[in-house]
Chain A
Amino acid sequence: MTAQANQTSTGTVPAIELRAATKRFRTPSGGIYTALRELDLTVAPGEFCAVVGPTGCGKSTTLSLVSGLEPASRGETLIHGEPVTGIDRRVGFMFQTDAVFPWKPVLDNVAAGPRFRGVGKREAVDKARDWLRRVGLSGFEDRLPHQLSGGMRKRVALAQTLINEPEILLMDEPFSALDVQTRQIVQDELLSLWELTRPAVVFVTHDLDEAIALADKVVVLTVGPGTVKDTFAIDLPRPRRVRDIRFHPHFVELYERIWTSLRDEVRLAYARTVGEPPRPEPAEDQPRTDDTIGQPR
């Protein structure tokens, strides 16, 4: 499953490619924290790739490298064969937290992407209405985010991201805050929307059920500093319904195989949190390079 192998097997340039990517952060206390070590990852155009791993293994860091929010300390990040130098227009990102703008009504939130990119007001609003219809939020155009339920806010975020028609869609545990029933509904909606434009997806999650149900490929990361431990092809039939696919006999079999791989890492990570009290557990999103500069006085 190296980059070269994948490239020759599909015969096309991969949508996303990480080559021996290493990411180090300066921690607020002045130390160095290695989040990723020599990580190789390839995602073909239109492929749905889920990344699972224990807490603090650098799952989110992988996404910030691909998005261009953070540069790699060493190694290469490529999008469609070109090195990433900054934020790429072809990338969409869905955050774990509610990153919709709380002061903008739903319609303006969805229209924000095109507006930022210089599309005229009327055109952007028309497009936003269209996307709101697709995520089932027609009639909620004038609501503010806090007036919506968690599931509806996620759908706003989904429309906000997809309206830019990204070729690469990065998702950082986007549904982890939702209750199980709502999550299944939004997952199904994600799959049907993904079928429309077929971006290459990197979907970070800690939920193995979710990873298998959604993805074409599940990548297991080791305990931090994270690197790829195993890659599993998910050859379940599409189109899928998240609730039904869980009872597919092959699903259970895949779950067992991937869990065997993941289990050791999860145990190691857990042992770290309880076994070494003096060393603070590095939360995935905690170490940020600029945290040490100019602390508020």
Chain B
Amino acid sequence: MTTTAPVPPTVDDTDAAELMRAARSGRRRRRLLVLSAQLALVVLVVGGWQLASAQGVLDSFTYGSPSGVVDQLRTWFTQGASTGSIWHNIGVTMEETVLGFLIGTLSGVVLGIALGRIHALAEVMAPFIKAGNSIPRVVLGSMFIIWFGLGPSGKVALAVVLVFFSVFFNAFQGTREVDRDLIANARILGASEWQVTSQVVLPSAMTWIVASLHAAFGFALIGAIVGEVLGAQAGLGQLIQQAQGNFNANGVYAGIIIIAVLALAAEFLITRFEKRVLRWRPTQLSGDTAGL
């Protein structure tokens, strides 16, 4: 028995290797197909747009053109904008966004967990939170301009307000959803209330909190840009606002492209953070949903 045993596995091995090879080449073919379809789509849209504006079908003054956008980007990156170099403008917007994101996330997590843990506090605060959440946050931008002037702090404040609510509700819900047996187990093992909060509730609610961070960064960017559009001395929102004032459609598109690139880069970083924080979970649910 034991002497004949090694033979069948080798047959199995070649079979398995064959299967693996077939699967791998199938996957590669599929990826190639998707990639070429995507490329074709880009060529179709951008090329069609360029062609239409060159032929005069689309008025290039109103609708811009891909080559105009490229020119605008080249001007910005080589000569800078009227408010300074493009990197300065990007830096200002990113600073406002990241600061707003961090402050908003931190306060949302702290308050969400506090209210989730302390029922009395939740009952007292509930109407105020609901009222605050019902205000369209963008109108607060006007208020912040009056409070903080045209500097970056008003934009940070707007980003904080936008981020706060999205993170807060997830942190609150995540705290409420923590497995009661886990908490009971920790308490019996000897954990103090603070240890329960920091070592059981926080890691457990992290699934919920991290899920809100994707949306939250988007909100932070919206806060910063809208704040700049409402009135600023520098930043991408201000560039877009300026382009709009000059009827420079290409300038608006160029601003949008830069913002999209920044948002995608941030999304990539957040996904990496998520994978790191939630690596204890059996399946990575997020980020695997058809790549969207």
Instruction: Tell me the A residues contacting B by CB distance below 8 Å.
Output: 67, 69, 87, 89, 91-93, 95-97, 99-104, 112-113, 116-117, 144, 146, 160-161, 164, 288, 290, 293-294, 296-297
Give chain A's interface secondary structure class.
loop
In the complex, per-residue mask of B77-92: 1 if CB is within 8 Å of any chain A CB, else 0: 0000000000000000
Q: Are A294 and B123 in contact (CB under 8 A)?
A: yes
Known interface pairs A89-B190, A164-B189; 8 further A-B residue pairs with C-beta atoms within 8 A, sorted by A's residue number? A95-B185, A101-B186, A102-B281, A103-B280, A112-B191, A116-B190, A294-B126, A296-B172
Q: Are A93 and B182 in contact (CB under 8 A)?
A: no
Which chain B positions have C-beta within 8 A of A67?
184, 188
How many Å lie between the Cα of A146 and that of B203 in the bound state?
Answer: 16
Instruction: Tell me the B residues contacting A by CB distance below 8 Å.
Output: 119, 122-123, 126, 130, 172-173, 176, 179-182, 184-192, 195, 199-200, 203-204, 206, 280-282
> Contact partner of B188 among A69, A97, A146, A293, CB < 8 A?
A69
How many Å lie between the Cα of A144 and that of B278 in the bound state?
Answer: 12
Q: Are A116 and B189 in contact (CB under 8 A)?
A: yes
Give the nearest-CB partner of B206 in chain A: A103
> Contact partner of A101 among B126, B182, B188, CB < 8 A?
B182
How many Å lie between the Cα of A21 and that of B21 in the bound state?
Answer: 67
Q: Are B200 and A101 in contact (CB under 8 A)?
A: yes
Contact A95 to B184, CB < 8 A, known contacts A102-B281, A146-B282, A294-B119: yes
Most chain-A CB neighbours within 10 Å: which of B182, B184, B188? B188
Give chain B's interface secondary structure class.
helix
Q: Are A93 and B200 in contact (CB under 8 A)?
A: no
Nearest CB on A from B133, distance (A): 10
Which chain B positions have C-beta within 8 A of A101?
182, 186, 199-200, 203
How many Å lie between the Cα of A146 and that of B283 in the bound state?
Answer: 10
Which chain B positions have C-beta within 8 A of A104?
280
Q: Are B188 and A297 in contact (CB under 8 A)?
A: no
Nearest CB on A from B284, distance (A): 12
Which chain A positions have C-beta within 8 A of B119?
290, 293-294
> Contact partner of B182 among A87, A99, A288, CB < 8 A?
A99
Which chain A positions have C-beta within 8 A of B126?
294, 297
Which chain A positions have C-beta within 8 A of B185?
93, 95, 99-100
How many Å lie between the Cα of A6 and that of B208 in the bound state?
Answer: 51
Cβ contacts A to B, 22 pairs, < 8 Å: A69-B184, A87-B187, A89-B190, A92-B188, A93-B188, A95-B184, A95-B185, A96-B181, A99-B185, A102-B281, A103-B203, A103-B206, A112-B191, A116-B189, A116-B191, A117-B190, A293-B119, A294-B119, A294-B126, A296-B173, A297-B126, A297-B130
How many Å lie between the Cα of A89 and that of B192 in the bound state?
Answer: 12
How many Å lie between the Cα of A99 and that of B191 in the bound state?
Answer: 14
Contact A99 to B181, CB < 8 A, known contacts A91-B188, A293-B119: yes
Q: Are A87 and B280 in contact (CB under 8 A)?
A: no
How many Å lie between the Cα of A65 and that of B155 in the bound state?
Answer: 54
Q: Are B190 and A164 in contact (CB under 8 A)?
A: yes
How many Å lie between the Cα of A293 and that of B206 in the bound state?
Answer: 23
Contact A87 to B188, CB < 8 A, known contacts A101-B200, A146-B281: yes
Q: Are B280 and A144 in contact (CB under 8 A)?
A: yes
Which chain B positions have C-beta within 8 A of A164?
189-190
How many Å lie between the Cα of A297 and that of B126 in the bound state?
Answer: 9
Which chain A positions have C-beta within 8 A of B192?
116
Nearest CB on B from A95, distance (A): 5
Q: Are B190 and A113 in contact (CB under 8 A)?
A: yes
